[in-house]
Structure 1
Amino acid sequence: MTSKKKDKKKRQFPTAFTVLFIVLILASILTYIVPAGLYEKLEYDAEENVFIKTDQDGNTTTLPASQGTLDSLNINMDLEKFTEGGIRKPIAIPDTYKNIEQSPQGLLPTIMSPVEGVMDTVDIMVFVLILGGIIGLINKTGTFDAGIAALSKRTKGKEFLLVVVVYALIALGGTTFGLAEETIALYPILMPIFIASGYDAIICIAAIYMGSSIGTMFSTVNPFSVVIASNAAGISFNEGLVIRIVALILASIITLVYIYRYAKKVKMDSKNSLIHDDMDRIEERFLKDYNPEDVVPFNWRRILILLVFLGAFPLMIWGVSVGGWWFAEMSALFFAVALIIIFLSGLSEKEAVNTFLEGAADLIGVVLIIGVARAINIVMDNGMISDTLLYYTSSIIENMNSGFFAAVQMVLFSILGFFIPSSSGLATLSMPIMAPLADTVGLSRDIVVTAYNWGQGWMAFITPTGLILATLEMVDVTYDKWLKFILPLMGIVGGFSILMLVLQTII
């Protein structure tokens, strides 16, 4: 018996940290194998109203901010895209790729990269730690227990409606303004509700993470992806909008049907859950003090605490989509929420502070994963291989058949999305190079924008350099279990997307 237990331990899937460090080492090895290279970059200086061109050696040249300058550099887009703020990051100048001296990332840079990654993502980390502290306070007051009990009574017999509502709201945020990192705040709130409703942790992840992923993948007016990409491609974001809306609706239906089929199996028999062996541990974590037979009353104090907490989310969404907020402002908002909850909680000063610190400490693993994931991108950036990958991929698709061109572009953008996970970064780097290739095969450039958006979003379902490992760490699910759940859906959504792209070339 002891031997069997030892064997089982040996066969356990590695933690999220180990997965990330393996990918980090592979990224470091790539910097030795993939030739280093750079495109010249062009950036608009709004203060001086000039263009600044930077060559591969870092030398800069000031050029007039005119349409003639763009035309002379083979950048086929209107000057207004720059002067009106549509493109704020440096863009790659077509036909300027040049190999440079190899910059392999050896042992020391690789070891240093997680430290640099933590420093680079400290704004996100502060946000997550403050959320952890708030969750600790709300749990201490019994507010979640009371709320779960009240909601469970109301949704009895129609629990999947909760999945649909959560998915739809998050997908709406994803498609309009790129709701992604902000969803981390939702797991501690919704996980207990999903578990109390008879579902497993994977269904909760699917409702939140896939709502965000499908929404951002099939972005319609997201300024951080499709709008920036359209600007960089020299077209209006309205081009291709109808097909993106149709694809979003159909992909959402496909995803919800897939989640429903899995949820139905779990409801029928909990042994059908992919994480059945882990559910006792997960329930202990999220329903530690919850007893449906003995729940604290949902009194005015708890209702007020919940309203204050939930009320912060519409304000956060407004701030990100309209007010120009980012993590510093969101952290400040939730810090203010924490202070209000401490005041309403009735806890003593010492008890409230210790509870906040304990809640924040529970998410230390999550914030460190965010930093290590960033380390992978730092190694690849310092290795100067991102532009090389773009150069090779653009060479592959020149002069292809139109339908094949669109499908292959999506696959190539999904690969590029692994190495350049920033949607705006990939758009400004790749579009000036990729978009003109559509002209050579007689296609509209909006097809390239769509391929970019769908390709990068599709890879986000599983890429370790994205949010998925931080999400899984937060809910105590291993990466291999997520892959078992998501890979069939990933295949379905990928096939559907390629079909829609091919149809777009015909319409």
Structure 2
Amino acid sequence: MKKKKRLKFPTAFTVLFIVLIIADILTYVIPAGNYSKLNYKKETKKFEITNSNGNVSTKPPTQKTLDDLNIKIEVDKFIDGSINKPIAIPNTYKRIKQTPQKISDIVQAPVKGTANGIDIVLFILVVGGLISIVNATGAFESGFASLSKVTKGKEFILLILVNLLIGLGGTTFGFAEETIALYPILTSIFLATGYDSMVCIAIIYVGSTIGTMFSTVNPFATVIASNSAGISFTEGIGLRMVGLVIAFIISLIYVLRYAKKVKDDPSKSLVFDQKEEIEAKFLTNNDNKKEIPQLNFKLKLILILFGSAFIIMVYGVVVRKWWFTEMTALFLVISIIVGIISDLKEKECVDNFLAGAGDVIGVGLIIGVARSINLVLENGNISDTLLYFFSNSVQGMNSSVFAIVMLLIFMVLGLFIPSSSGLAVLSMPIMAPLADTVGISRAIIVSAFQFGHGLITFITPTGIILAALSMVDITYDRWLKFIAPLLVIMLILSMILLSFAVII
């Protein structure tokens, strides 16, 4: 009797291509339309207005110009660069000729999406190369061995510290895409201490998402959204801080319970059937015959250099306003320094760097395909139509119901516009004034935006979750099974917080 083949969930690429086709179909179904967009040009020191037909006009950068356009934002926010992306102008939505995306557009979209996201793709490749060089020196093996001895019996402390640090990074400066660099390293550490790869992605991705979902001073979400809503980012910060503490405790307990269950009984792991395959990939010291090198001064220095790259990266992003170009250059320099001080020959360094980059090239391509979905929706001119539809549907609602509906709306919009800053500048000038009509603070709209966008970030294929899953060899269906209960809990918490904010 033949054994039936078990159906496997499709890979990240297949999931993304399915979503890409659905996005294409939507460009035929949803009416095309655009809001006029306002942008400040530093070169000419003028406002540029692009209407729905693509015609461009200029106006002086004054508060009167903004008042005439019904944009309740201080003009200084544009001039000092706090708002540096085109924003939607209220009451300017117009239907335009349908722009469905053809087969040729779909075929070209992944190529254009990869080119569009080349900065993050190169970042991932260089980080992969650095990790491979450090791994070849034996620094990771000896470091893991020492760490296992230090944390023996207290491994949960490591989980808490990593989760807390990443969560703090998320709430302060939007630590999200940058976490891609951490997966290969932390997966090896967690596997060596008795956990599975799901624990790794949970500690990193959940920590990052909770932090960004309840952002306090994150310039890429809170500050931009508040500026675009015409309020100070400090308004509503108390509610978000309370939410951050509660959500952090709940999510950490949720992840630690799973981690303990797996450590006590590995068969309880959601990826138990992949245990040998994953350990073979991430644990380099499984071969008992292989002697683990002593953690000498040179290997300690290599690990310090590797760790310093992340510290410098955080400093650069927060203080120096770095982005992926600068971060990639940093990791490339660290790779060269590690190669020079190691015992590896020049050819060994280059070969290991290229092999490491090759190991993560699939992750880079996943990001490119995810970007292609956004391009199809953008070129199909349906994102503004969705915004227009939702903004009209909430007018005249009860204030408590309004706040919760706004949360759900931002979840839907976040599926189509995964960028927090992009969604903020597009939606806030339209959505924030609606708060005035129901008698609630605009800060509640900003919080609803953050909560909704954060919730959908847990699962949206157009974000970075599929790239993260690919880094640790976990399929999307396993992740959904793990995260679904926590997602429901976070949704309920968000609704309670918004309802409470309306009452007070």
Q: Normalized against structure 2, the TM-score is what?
A: 0.98
Post-superposition CA distance 1:214-249 (Å, at most 9, x none) = 001110000111101101100000100111111001
Moved more, 240-249 or 42-51: 42-51
Asked if 1:23 is matched to 2:36, the reply is no
Counterpart code for 1:469: L
Q: Give the structure 2 partner of residue 495 of structure 1.
A: 492
- Whether the aligned pair in 2 keeps the contact of 1:113 and 1:375 (CA below 8 Å) is yes
**Within 5 Å, which residues of 2 pair with 1:70-219?**
70-219=66-215
Which of 303, 309, 313 is residue 306 of structure 1 equivalent to?
303
* Preserved contact between residue 35 and residue 388 of structure 1 (Cα < 8 Å): yes
Residue number in structure 1 paired with 2:429: 432
Given candidates 329, 340, 352, the residue that maps to 1:343 is 340
Distance 1:181 1:79 in 2: 31
Is 1:383 matched with 2:380?
yes
| 2:470 equivalent to 1:465 | no
Partners of 1:501 and 1:124 lie apart in 2 by 34
Q: Give, in angstroms, the shift of residue 81 of structure 1.
A: 2.0
Q: Quick one: distance in 1 between partners of 2:288 and 2:121?
A: 34
- Cα distance in 2 between the residues matched to 1:288 and 1:150: 15
Bigger drift between 493-502 and 80-89 goes to 80-89
Measure, in 2, the Cα distance between the counterparts of 1:282 and 1:392.
46
Give me the whole-angstrom Cα distance separating, in 2, the residues matched to 1:78 and 1:115. 39
Segments of 5+ residues of structure 2 without an aligned counterpart are none
1:291 Cα deviation after fit: 5.2
Q: Secondary structure at the match of 1:7?
A: coil
Residue 297 in 1 paired to residue 294 in 2? yes
* Offset of residue 44 of structure 1: 1.5
Letter of the structure 2 residue corresponding to residue 297 of structure 1: Q
Partner of 2:229: 233
Q: Does the alignment pair 1:445 with 2:448?
A: no
- Which residue does 2:415 correspond to in 1? 418
Q: Does 1:409 align with 2:406?
A: yes
Q: Which whole-Å deviations, capped at 9, do the CAs of 1:384-417 have from their partners, x for residues lacking one?
A: 0010010011111111111111111011001101
Per-residue CA shift, 1:410-446, capped at 9, x if unaligned?
1100110110111111111101100000000000000
Counterpart residue identity of residue 372, structure 2? A
The answer to whether the 8 Å contact 2:224/2:424 transfers is: yes
- Three-state SS of the structure 2 residue aligned to 1:52 is strand
Contact 1:149 1:292 in 2 (8 A): no
Find the aligned partners of 2:184 and 2:478 in 1 and give their Cα distance. Answer: 20
CA contact (8 A) 2:190 2:197 kept: yes
Q: Percent identity?
A: 57
SS of 1:238 mapped into structure 2:
coil
- Rounded Cα–Cα distance in structure 2 between residues aligned with 1:486 and 1:141: 36
Matches of residues 348-359 of structure 1 in structure 2 within 5 Å?
348-359=345-356
Matched-pair contact (CA < 8 Å) for 1:145–1:290: no
- Alpha-carbon separation, structure 2, partners of 1:301 and 1:437: 61
Q: In the aligned structure 2, how far is the partner of 1:169 from the partner of 1:292?
A: 34
Q: CA deviation at 1:352?
A: 1.6
Equivalent AA in structure 2 for residue 177 of structure 1: F
1:307-322 pair list within 5 angstroms: 307-322=304-319
**Which 10-residue stretch deviates more, 181-190 or 44-53?**
44-53
- Paired position in structure 1 for 2:367: 370
1:290 to partner: Cα distance: 3.8
**Residue type of the alignment partner of 1:500:** L
> Residue 451 of structure 2 aligns to which amino acid in structure 1?
W
| Partner residue in 2 for 1:505 | 502
- 1:486 corresponds to which residue? 483
Is the 2:225–2:424 Cα contact (8 Å) retained in structure 1?
Answer: yes
Confirm or deny: 8 A CA contact 2:40 2:46 kept in the other structure: yes
Give, in whole Å, the separation in 1 of the partners of 2:303 and 2:376. Answer: 42
- Distance (Å, rounded) in 2 between the aligned partners of 1:33 and 1:51: 34
Query: Deviation digits for residues 316-346 of structure 1, max 9, x if unmatched?
Result: 0111111121111111100000101111221
SS in 2 for 1:51: strand
Aligned partner letter, 2:481: K
- 1-side partners of 2:128 and 2:212: how far apart? 25
Match of 1:52 among 39, 48, 54: 48
Compute the displacement of 1:128 (Å): 0.6
Give the AA of the match of 2:231: I
Aligned counterpart for 1:267 among listed residues 253, 263, 267: 263
How far has the Cα of 1:77 moved from its partner? 2.1
Q: Does 1:392 align with 2:389?
A: yes
Asked if the contact 2:38–2:48 (Cα under 8 Å) also holds between the matched residues in 1, the reply is yes
Q: Once structures 1 and 2 are overlaid, which stretch shifts more, 294-303 or 325-334? A: 294-303
Residue 292 of structure 1 deviates from its aligned partner by: 7.5
Say if 1:310 and 1:340 are closer, same or farther in 2 by CA, change over 3 A.
same
Instruction: Indicate the residue corresponding to 2:32 in structure 1.
Output: 36
Per-residue CA deviations over 1:12-57 (Å, capped at 9, x if unaligned) read 1100000000000000000000000000111112333321111111
Between 47-56 and 25-34, the greater mean CA deviation after superposition: 47-56
Letter in 2 for 1:470: A
Q: Does 1:329 align with 2:326?
A: yes
The one-letter amino acid paired with 2:398 is N
Q: Distance in 2 between matches of 1:351 and 1:79?
A: 56
CA RMSD of aligned residues (A): 1.1
Displacement, 1:380? 0.4
Deviation, 1:64, is 1.8
- 1:289 CA displacement: 3.2
**C-alpha separation between the residues in 2 aligned to 1:87 and 1:185?**
29
Shift of 1:137: 1.0
* Residue type at the aligned position of 1:22: I
Matched to 1:196, the amino acid is A
Distance 2:449 2:486 in 1: 20
> What is the aligned partner in structure 1 of residue 358 from structure 2?
361
Q: Which residue of 1 aligns with 2:5?
A: 7
| 2:61 partner amino acid | A
Q: Deviations over 1:72-101 (max 9, x none)?
A: 111122222222222111111111100000
Q: What letter corresponds to residue 47 of structure 1 in structure 2? A: E
Count of equivalent residues: 503
Determine if contact 2:431/2:445 at 8 Å carries over to the other structure. Answer: yes
Distance 2:370 2:79 in 1: 34
**CA separation in 1, counterparts of 2:149 and 2:442?**
51
The answer to whether the Cα contact below 8 Å between 2:141 and 2:284 also exists between their aligned partners in 1 is: no
